[in-house]
Structures are given as C-alpha cells and as structure tokens.
Amino acid sequence: MEPRSPNSSTGNSMSTATLTDESPAKRGKKPPQPIYELLQPFLGAINGIRSYLALTLRALMWVVRPPYRIMELLKAMDFVGVQSVFIVSLTGIFSGMVLALQTTHTLRQFSAEGVVGSVVAISLTRELSPVFSALMVTARAGSAMGAELGNMRVTEQIDALTTMSVSPVQYLVVPRMIASILTMPMLCVLYSCVGMVGAWMIAVEFLGVDPGTFIANIEKYLTLNDFTMGLIKSVVFGFLISTISCHQGFYARGGARGVGIATTRAVVQSAVVLFIANYLITNWLTQL
C-alpha cells in the first residue's frame, strides 16, 4: 500500500474550492448587467434603423439594375393604387364635408363665409390630402405588405428565392416601393378632388354659400405651390410607407406571432414617421 501524500487531501480540497469559487462567467452564466438591460431598447432601435437603411439602400440600387419586373410592378400598382381608390374617396368626401361644415359655421360669425372654398381647398391640398390618403394606404396596403413578406419569411419562401439566385429585394421590395411612389400622388389628387366635391355639397347646397364666391375665392387664393407641396409630401409618404412595411415583413421572425408583430409595427411606425416627415417637409417648404 502506497503511502498517502500529506498534501493530497489539501490538494483535493483546494481543487474543489477552486471549482466552487469560480465566477458565474466562468461557469457559463452571465453576470447581471443592469446597464445593458437599460440600454437594450435603444440598441434595438439603432439596429432596426441600421437594417432599414441597409434594405432601403439595396432596394434603391436594384431600381436601375435589370431585370426589370414590369408585371410585378403593375400588380403592385393595382394593389396599392387601384384597390385603394374606394377607401381614399370615401375618406376624402367626408373630410371635405366636415371641414366645410366647421369652416362655414365659424366664418359666418365674421360674415366671411365666402372664403370657405379657398380655406377648404388650401387645407386639402397642403395637409389633409397627402396625410389622410397616406394613412389610408398604410392601414390597407402597408399592413398587407408587412404581413405578406413576413409570411414569406417565416415559411422560408424568401430563402427559396435566394437559393434560386433571385434577389428577394429586387423581386419583392422594389416593385412595391416604386408602385407606392407612383400611385400616392394620384391618390392625393383624387382625395383633394373628392374632398372639394363634398365641401361644395355642404357649403353651397346645404348652408347657402354663394357658388360664384365659392369658386372665385378658390381661383384667387389657391396657387400652384399648394399643389406642389401636397404632391411632394405624397411622394415621400409613399416611399416611407413601402420601405418601412417591407422592412418589417422582410425581417419578421417567430412564426405566426412574429408576422402579427411585424404587421403591427409596420402600421404604427409608418404612421409615426408620416407625421414627423409631414412637419419637416411643411417647415422646409414654407421657408422657401
């Protein structure tokens, strides 16, 4: 029987103590990081902005590169533009009616109801038409873009396009972006025209405003800059709606629940960004 080393028990106890006293990081457990957890929402927002800018840049690069998918563009224009005509028209006519009703009753206190037509026309062309039509497109088409691309992502259809050497950005994002940019100004003009019809019905037919004065003040005070401001806003809004919605759907994760979250984020983020962009564009154009 071999003599037992006097240090053997000490060595075993030391090795056991060493294993026991290891830090959580050495045992594979991360120590609590309250600062990191506090900053995590901000880091997530920065990562989201970075991925959005990267996807948007890739889409802009693919706009001028062949192959040009005309059929996909026409389908996207039909979906974003043509199928939004009814909801935009319905919203526009009631917006014009409400605006004319409120404006007429307010200005009648000052015997200035004759300028109702110009007030409604300027309000529609500058603000209401681009903003409200963009919100309607966001609710109808933007949510559908996010849901459709999100479903394709979680079912690996986007990965299948990549496997077939087809750029998913060019095939899925670019047609929707171009279609939104092209159709939003048309929907904006439609909103303005339908809104003025509703304003005419309320102000002239029901509240007794003189029709000649109604039209004359529109011709006097409504300028080309009012139309230009509305069209510029609608183009920018169409770009933002399509890229934000496609970005949320393109990077959706987590099955059906992830698709729902991506769709919700697409609508909410688009609406918030629209109002921010509306203020910035209005402030910039009014200073020119």
pLDDT, tens digit, 9 for 90 and up, residues 259-270: 999 999 999 999
Structural domain includes residue 21: no
Predicted confidence at residue 258, as pLDDT, reads: 93
What range defines the domain where residue 159 resides?
58-286
Structural domain includes residue 143: yes
Structural domain includes residue 24: no
Sign of CA dihedral 211, 214, 216, 222: negative
Predicted confidence at residue 32, as pLDDT, reads: 55
Total number of domains in the chain: 1
Structural domain includes residue 101: yes
- Angle, vertex CA 274, rays to CA 256 and CA 244, nearest 5: 35
| CA separation for the pair 251, 54 (Å, rounded) | 12
Please list the ranges in the chain whose pLDDT falls under 50: 1-3, 5-26, 31
Q: How many CB atoms lie within 10 A of CB 89?
A: 20
Predicted confidence at residue 30, as pLDDT, reads: 53
Predicted confidence at residue 231, as pLDDT, reads: 95
Predicted confidence at residue 8, as pLDDT, reads: 47
Residue bearing tokens 């005419």:
200
Residue bearing tokens 């899925």:
172
Structural domain includes residue 216: yes
Structural domain includes residue 229: yes
Predicted confidence at residue 129, as pLDDT, reads: 96
Q: Which residues contact 191 (CB under 8 A, 6 or more apart)?
A: 88, 89, 91, 92, 95, 124, 128, 129, 132, 133
Structural domain includes residue 45: no
pTM of the model as a whole: 0.84
Structural domain includes residue 31: no
| CA separation for the pair 188, 145 (Å, rounded) | 20
Query: pLDDT (tens digit, 9 = 90+) per residue, 132-171?
Result: 999 999 999 999 999 999 999 999 999 999 999 899 999 9
Predicted confidence at residue 15, as pLDDT, reads: 45
Predicted confidence at residue 18, as pLDDT, reads: 44
